[in-house]
Amino acid sequence: MTTHADKKQIRLLLVDDHPIVRFGLSALLGMQEDFAVVAAASSGREALDILRQKTIDIVLVDLRMPGFSGIDTLEQIRTQAPRVQAIVLSSFEFDEEIYAAVKAGARGYLLKESPPEEIMSAIRSVFAGRQAFPERIAKRLSESRMTAGLSAREREVLELVAKGLTNKEVANTLQISQFTVRNHLNHITEKLEASDRTEAIFIAIHTGLITLH
């Protein structure tokens, strides 16, 4: 029987190639009244098939899966089901993987060994529209080694563009030419591997490269 409370449940999809991880997470999260584990997938491709058939709010995804990786999965989720939010649950915490995950659309990044309360809190935070990065990871995302090679001036230009300024307005603000602004933006999109300035802004905001006040 469906109750009024059921309608408020956060619908979850678990994606991990290890059966014991899927079983453990399903058991843990299924005990929470505000969670509904809709499905568990053993691969990214299986997860995408499930997303085509079922309504999901949050996907918990492992990064290191054979064949179709977690990063591939995140990128496809962002394209195929943009309203679905993703949280990475990984056994590893390397800068390159964190950056790649956030660039691909992850709204949170936690280790599998994280306390259950931290995992559940992250799910609720992301469902509420916030990010869920432990302080140590959030700090690393904002540190200089996570700048993807952007110079201080390039970050300044991107921050102004993200605030809605045109190339001409950016040029006037920084006292440089529009040609220089355009060159900076071209370099930025190349370094962030973005298709255009809009995607570059998205990546920069979600990786902490720029901050909008």
Q: What is the pLDDT of residue 142?
A: 65
Q: Could you tell me if 138 and 170 lie in one domain?
A: no
- What CATH number did the domain enclosing 175 receive? 1.10.10.10
| Tokens 């559940």 found at | 120
200 domain-assigned = yes
DSSP for 128-145 reads: TT--B--HHHHHHHHSGG
Q: Could you tell me if 54 and 136 lie in one domain?
A: yes
Q: What is the pLDDT of residue 144?
A: 45
Q: Could you tell me if 175 and 91 lie in one domain?
A: no
Residue range(s) defining the domain that contains residue 162: 147-206
User: What's the CA gap between 20 and 14, in Å, rounded?
Assistant: 12
Give 78: exposed, middle or buried? Use CB within 10 Å, 0-12, 13-18, 19+: middle
Q: Could you tell me if 112 and 175 lie in one domain?
A: no
59 domain-assigned = yes
Q: Where does a domain end: 142, 163, 188?
A: 142
DSSP for 20-61 reads: HHHHHHHHHHHTSTTEEEEEEESSHHHHHHHHHHS--SEEEE
pTM of the model: 0.67
- Give the pLDDT of the chain (213 residues) as one tens digit per residue: 344 444 579 999 999 999 999 999 999 999 999 999 999 999 999 999 999 999 999 999 999 998 889 999 999 999 999 999 999 999 888 777 888 888 888 999 999 999 999 999 999 999 999 989 888 777 766 664 456 678 889 989 999 999 999 999 999 999 999 999 999 999 999 888 788 888 888 877 766 677 776
